[in-house]
Structure formats: C-alpha cells, structure tokens
A and B are shown apart, each in its own frame.
Chain A
Amino acid sequence: MDILNGLVVFLNFVFIPAAAYGAQLALGALGVTLIYGILRFSNFAHGDTMAFGTAIVILLTWGLQALGISIQPLPTALLALVPAIALTALLVLATDRLVYRFYRRQKAAPIILVMASVGVMFVMNGLTRLLIGVNEQRFDDGARFIIDVRTFREMTGLTEGLALRSTQGLTVILAFITMIALFWFLNRTRSGKAMRAYSDNEDLALLSGIDPERVVRLTWIIAAGLMVMAGTLYGLDKAFRPFNYFQILLPIFAAAIVGGLGNPMGAIAGGFLVAFSEVAVTYPWVRVVGYVAPWYDPGPGNLMQLLGTEYKFAVSFVILIVVLLFRPTGLFRGKSV
C-alpha cells in the first residue's frame, strides 16, 4: 500500500508535470530543429514568435468568449488555434521574405542569419508587448480536471491523491497527434520527402528539381504551426507572460541540441529528457522516499532535493554540455553546418 502511495506521489508531482512540460518542449524543439535542418541556422526568435502566436490565440479566445462560443469541456483556445496559426504563418513568411531570404541568396554564413534572427527577436518581442502588454494573462476555460484529488482518493482508497489537470492531458494528447501527423507528412507525402531531401543534401535536391523556395515556405508554415501549438499549450498549462517565452528558449534549444539539431526524432527525445531531468533534479523527494523506504530518516529539514527549483534552467544547460562533450552532434547524430 505504501509503495502505491509513493507511486501516486511520484506520478502526481514528477511524472505528469514532466510529461506535459516535455511535450511542450518537444513541440518547440521540433520547430527549432526543422528550421535548422532546412534553413541551417539557430532561430533565436523562436521563443518570441511563440509568444506572438499565443498572444493572437488569447485575443481570439477572448473574442470567441465574448460571442458566447465555447466547446465545453475543452478550452475555447483550441478553436482559436487554427486562425492564429494562419496569421502567425503569414507573419513568419513575411519575415522570411523581408529578412532571411536576402542572406539565403547571398549564401551568408549561418552566424549572420543567427544575428538577423536576434533582430527579428527584438521586433517580435516588441510586437507581442504592443499587442497584449507584459502582464500575466490567463485564458484557460473549460473543465479544470480530468481526475481531481478527491475523486481519486474515493475511487482508490489511498491516502495520497492524484490530480490530472485537463490542460496536462490535452497537452500530451495534442502533442502526440501533432507529432504523428508531422512524421506522416515528412515520411509519406511528396512535399515532406522533398523537405527531407533538401535537408540531407541541398545540391542533390536542387538537381532533382525540388523548388528550394517552396521547401523553405513549407518549413516556415509548419514551424509556425508548431510554435503556436507549443506556445498555446504552455500558456494553458502554466500562464502566459511574454517574458517566460523568452526564457523558454534555453530549454528548447537544449532539447533540440541534445537530440541532435536537424533530427525531428531527436527533438522529441530531447524535449522529454530535458523536462524529466529538470523536474527530477529539482523535486523534493522526501515524501516519495518516506513511502518507499520508511526505515530511512533523512533528518529534519532535509527535503532530499538535489537543486533548488530556481535552477531549472541550469539543469537543461548541464545536460546540454554533457551531451555535447561526449557526442558533439547530439544523441541522434544531428547535423552541423
């Protein structure tokens, strides 16, 4: 019984939050990795573009709510997702046209593209603030829980309760569907194969008549979809603040790099690896240990926490460095320009 209680605590405070966070990171990292694979630079504007897309979702959600449209028990934001992706895709295509295409034609060094993306980051950041301000916005409506603590206790008779918030369940399911759709697209469709061919060997792809600009456009559109999806799920799960989206850039990059830049499978693995390590290292294990090993007394005040929660970002970074030291191109052997 105690073991079961321990397991419930573990699921409740470690597994479920980490799985949801991991799914969000994986979606973000997929976008970064796609852009790196096709356009061959690390997009520093990724986090702020996510914030911009999410801001549009929030505004549309408010509009829908004002009209009284809802899809109970699901959050209204899901309805707003599709038009928001379309708008964000337009914006992102415009930045490609105005900024990146010039350097692509010039065959500029990747680092110049990275720098240009810093410029885009500033503009996106400003646009987001202009659009929605800097304050925290909550936009999750619909049912709050799939299972709440009390129902779970009554059902199982355990002392510890388990809560599964609907946003967490939704995140994992939606991310899963998106990933399957993406892999289907990349492996089965003509356009997807063209993208992979272009990413693997640009010259060969050009020889076989693949239109590079079409591939680039497709990449941006898919990336925009992934960005808005990741941003919205993150915002529903935690809360929306423009600055958080700037900070999430580091774990997203870490996830993409740990998996191997340019490798979609790696991005997903990296996302979950980073998320699970972050949560596991900063979680106070004392309650779980209390159930699993009741004979062990860690002493008063010892929470059995490896690192304070403030150091979440440090964890993703340490994983990043360790992986790079032993495998310079990531776990799944990504590419390097």
Chain B
Amino acid sequence: MATNRQAATAHSRWRAPIFFAILAVLFVLEGTVRNSMFSGSWNTSLAILNMGLISAITALGVNMQWGYAGLFNVGVVGFLAMGALAPVLISLPPVEGAWEAGIPRLALALLVGLGTLAMARLAWGRTRSGILTLAVLIGGFLAYRWLFDPAVTAIEANNPARQGNIGGLGLPVLLSWVVGGVFAAAAAWAIGKVALGLRSDYLAIATLGIGEIIVAVLRNEEWLARGVMNITSIPRPVAYEIELQRNLDFVEAASRWGFGAAEASGIWVKLSYMSLFLVVLLVIILLAELALKSPWGRMMRAIRDNETAAEAMGKDVTRRHLQVFILGSAVIGVAGAMMVTLDGLLAPTSYNPLRYTFLIWVMVIVGGSGNNWGAVLGSVTIWFLWIKAEVWGPALIAAMTSPMADGPIKAHLLDSSPHMRFIAMGAVLLLVLRFAPRGLLPEK
C-alpha cells in the first residue's frame, strides 16, 4: 500500500501457496462434507467458486487502479453495470419493430447530446464566455429532448409486455465480454477526463456519484434494458442442464462416477463456466503481471509513491492516471458482462453499492493491494465467507443464545442474524487495515 509505514517484512515464498491450499481445502469440504457448517454439495461449492472468480476479476481491476496507481475508485458498481449491459445489447435476439419504432431517431438524439457537450467545450475553450457555453448547453438539451422523448415512447410502446426495448444484435455471448470491457472503458474515459484532476477524497466521492448514476440509468431507461422489469434468458456460452439430462451418453457417464443426472448436469455446467472464467482470469493476471514488471509498471508505482517527484522527472501524471483508470475499469466491465452471462439475467435493482463496490474493496484490502494474486486470494476468500456467513452467522447466534430463555429478545436476535455478515465484513476490513495493512499477500 502506498501510504503504508510498516517496514516490509520478509515473507516465505510458501505464503501464497499455503493460503491458496487452505482455500482449496475449504471448497473441497464444502463439496464433500455435509454438516451444520458445510453443505456437502459440489453444486453449491462450484457456484460459490464461480462467483468468487468473477469477483476476483473485478478486484483485479480495482487493484490496477488502487494498487498500481493509488486511485480510489468507489464507483465499481457503475462499471460492473456498464459491462452488464453488453450481453443484453450484443447477444439477445433483435427486437422486431424496434428499428421502425425509433432507433434511428434515438441514435440521432444521442449524437446530438454528445455533439452538444463537444460544442459547449469548444465554446468555453475558444471564448471563455459562460453565457455562450450555457446557451449552447440549453439549446442542445432542448434539441436532444425533442428528438429523444418521442423515440423512447415509440420504442417502449413496441410490444411492451415482452420487449419494449431496443433489443440486441444476436451475436455470440462471449463477444459481449469484450464489449462489456469496451463499454466500461468508454465510461471511464469520459469520467476520467472530468474527475481525475480531483484530489483523493474528492475523486472518491465523484466516482461514488458516477456509480450511482450509471445504476440509476440502467434502472430507469426501459428502452435500453427494460429497467426494473429485468431481462431474463440471456444466451449461454455453455450447455443447458436439460439438454445434458436428455443426452444418454452423459447420463451414463455420470452414473459411472456415481452422480445422478440432475446433479451431474449442474456440476458439468458450472465446471464449464469455471473453465471459461479461469481462462479470462489467467489472461488478465498474465497481462497485469507483465505490465507491472515492465518499465510502465515501474513508472506507475513511482507515480503512486511520489506524484510530485514523478512529475518533476517529466512523467505526465494526469495522463497515466487516466490510462490506468480506463484499463482497470475495462477489467471491471468484463467482470460485469461475465456476471450477467453466468446468471443469465440482468436485474438492475440488484446493483447495490454495498455489495458490488464496498465488498470488492474489502476483497482488495484483505488480499493485499498491489499484488494481483493477493486480489484473487482475497476475493475468493471473502466471497466464500460472505456466502457462508448466511449459514454460520445464525448457527453462531443460536449457539450464543442457547442459554437464554425463550422470549422476544432471543427471537429478534435469531431473526436478524443474517445481518451479522455486514458486521463481520466490516470487522474483517478494520482488523486487516489495523494489523496487516499490506494484506494477506503483500506487494513484493
């Protein structure tokens, strides 16, 4: 961590393998042992792991911004949501009649909106006249609304019960992972241009606002992704359980391993997802590690550790910050697209910053900021704890309250025990910040 004052303690090179081994044991226990602590189901274990891998990719993006460059981005949920839009727009089948209803007019409106911003910027740059700039903005806004509103009404009126949005392009869903990264990168570019001049606390609050806005757009612009009506049945890159269960070869192979057809199909689908996620994760880690060990990475860390000195040596700090902000956000966007693909569902109301921004931050800090493997370790560990807290929390409270007499207080404690997970996560973050500020796997 940039601002850490503790002397770097020497760590054995077995530290990372040992932590990962412990984590692996936990997942094996979850898959095999059935008691009050573990579910004993490989389906559950793999489901936790898959979401953990996606969290790990998100955390890698945050780690690039914070660990490499010291940028405090609290708008993670917004970039995840940007990425989440990609599977919808890329892989869903085209909506019949949407084009006629008003896509061209809508596109024109968005172009006018962008043009207005560019014009306003130009007007301000050339003349420094606030009144002229304001006039351009107001005129542009009126033109934009004049084009935009009827188009949206028409699109939302197009078969609203089932569609009512612009639909997708019908391309393979895997492509949308890349596009998700591009979406998030584009958003990051626009935001970075405005906000990266700000100081640390101010940047944090600016990104917090941006995250909220992106999620608000996703929730309310029904022409785009149906808003709160959700989008289901996003195409899959892997097999469907039903098909596997109908496949006689598969059923036979499953029974040879001692699994029922239903259970085996679930495991097979999750394993397929897992392999895809692992490929993405390893590619990103490889690129990130190469970048970190290159002159570029040394420059980034030099900037992070002492901005003034780096600037004095001729490094363009603002430009580098923008670069790493875009790269990190792109990685977060990829994770957002992957998450929607895994769920097969886009539910904008579920994009809660507590879960998708601040929990990711806990993962990065606990894992060890500045260390890519640390981010992965922290993510999977914290995600495992987050899920298991749902089971362990009530068990713990039940054990603690067992000597108490039955009554309203005991009932209330038992009822609200799921909320323990927030307290637990906060406590973990605070303890790590206090006693191991460099995280489980510190930066070398």
Interface residues of A (CB under 8 A from B): 36, 41-42, 99, 102, 106, 108-112, 114-116, 118-127, 129-130, 133-134, 246-247, 249-250, 253-254, 257, 261, 306, 308, 310-311, 313-314, 316-317, 320-321, 324-325, 328, 336-337
**Complex contacts, B209 vs chain A, CB 8 Å:** 250, 254, 313, 316-317, 320-321
Contact across chains for B358 and A118 when beta carbons are under 8 A apart: yes
Chain A residue with Cβ nearest B5: A106
**Complex contacts, A121 vs chain B, CB 8 Å:** 358, 426
Within 8 A of A (CB), among B419-443: 419-427, 429-430, 433-434, 437
Partner of B216, one of A116, A119, A133, A310: A310
Surface stretch bound by A, among B191-199, B244-252, B315-323: B191-199
Contact across chains for B433 and A119 when beta carbons are under 8 A apart: yes
Contact across chains for B200 and A110 when beta carbons are under 8 A apart: yes
Cβ of B241 under 8 Å from chain A: no
Contact across chains for A129 and B422 when beta carbons are under 8 A apart: yes
Partner of B361, one of A115, A123, A314: A115
11 sample A-B contacts, Cβ–Cβ < 8 Å, listed by A number: A111-B70, A111-B200, A115-B361, A115-B429, A118-B358, A119-B426, A119-B429, A122-B423, A122-B429, A257-B202, A328-B197
A41-B201, A310-B216 known; A119+B430 contact, CB < 8 A: yes
Chain A residue with Cβ nearest B415: A133
A316-B209, A317-B212, A320-B205 known; A111+B3 contact, CB < 8 A: yes
Interface residues of B (CB under 8 A from A): 1-3, 5, 70, 72, 141, 194-195, 197-202, 204-206, 208-210, 212-213, 216, 219-220, 353-354, 358, 361-362, 365, 413, 415-416, 419-427, 429-430, 433-434, 437
Contact across chains for B195 and A321 when beta carbons are under 8 A apart: yes
Alpha-carbon distance between A311 and B425 when the two chains are bound, in angstroms: 30
Contact across chains for B422 and A122 when beta carbons are under 8 A apart: yes
**Complex contacts, B423 vs chain A, CB 8 Å:** 122-123, 126-127, 130
Contact across chains for B422 and A325 when beta carbons are under 8 A apart: no
Contact across chains for B220 and A108 when beta carbons are under 8 A apart: no
Partner of B419, one of A126, A246, A247, A308: A126
Contact across chains for B201 and A116 when beta carbons are under 8 A apart: no
Contact across chains for B216 and A311 when beta carbons are under 8 A apart: yes
**Complex contacts, B3 vs chain A, CB 8 Å:** 108-109, 111-112
**Complex contacts, A109 vs chain B, CB 8 Å:** 2-3
| Closest chain B CB from A245 CB (angstroms) | 12
Contact across chains for A118 and B212 when beta carbons are under 8 A apart: no
Contacts A253-B205, A320-B209 known; list 16 others, CB within 8 Å.
Answer: A102-B434, A111-B3, A111-B204, A114-B201, A119-B429, A122-B422, A126-B420, A126-B424, A129-B416, A129-B422, A130-B413, A250-B208, A313-B213, A317-B206, A317-B210, A336-B202
For the complex of A and B, 6 pairs with smallest distance between CB atoms = A122-B426, A126-B422, A317-B209, A126-B423, A109-B3, A123-B426
* Most chain A CB neighbours (cut-off 10 Å) among B195, B201, B362, B365: B201
**Complex contacts, B216 vs chain A, CB 8 Å:** 310-311, 313-314
Contact across chains for A310 and B213 when beta carbons are under 8 A apart: no
**Complex contacts, A112 vs chain B, CB 8 Å:** 1, 3, 433, 437
Alpha-carbon distance between A119 and B435 when the two chains are bound, in angstroms: 14
Alpha-carbon distance between A336 and B353 when the two chains are bound, in angstroms: 26
Alpha-carbon distance between A42 and B429 when the two chains are bound, in angstroms: 17
A116-B433, A320-B209 known; A110+B426 contact, CB < 8 A: no
* Most chain A CB neighbours (cut-off 10 Å) among B141, B198, B202: B202
Alpha-carbon distance between A124 and B420 when the two chains are bound, in angstroms: 11
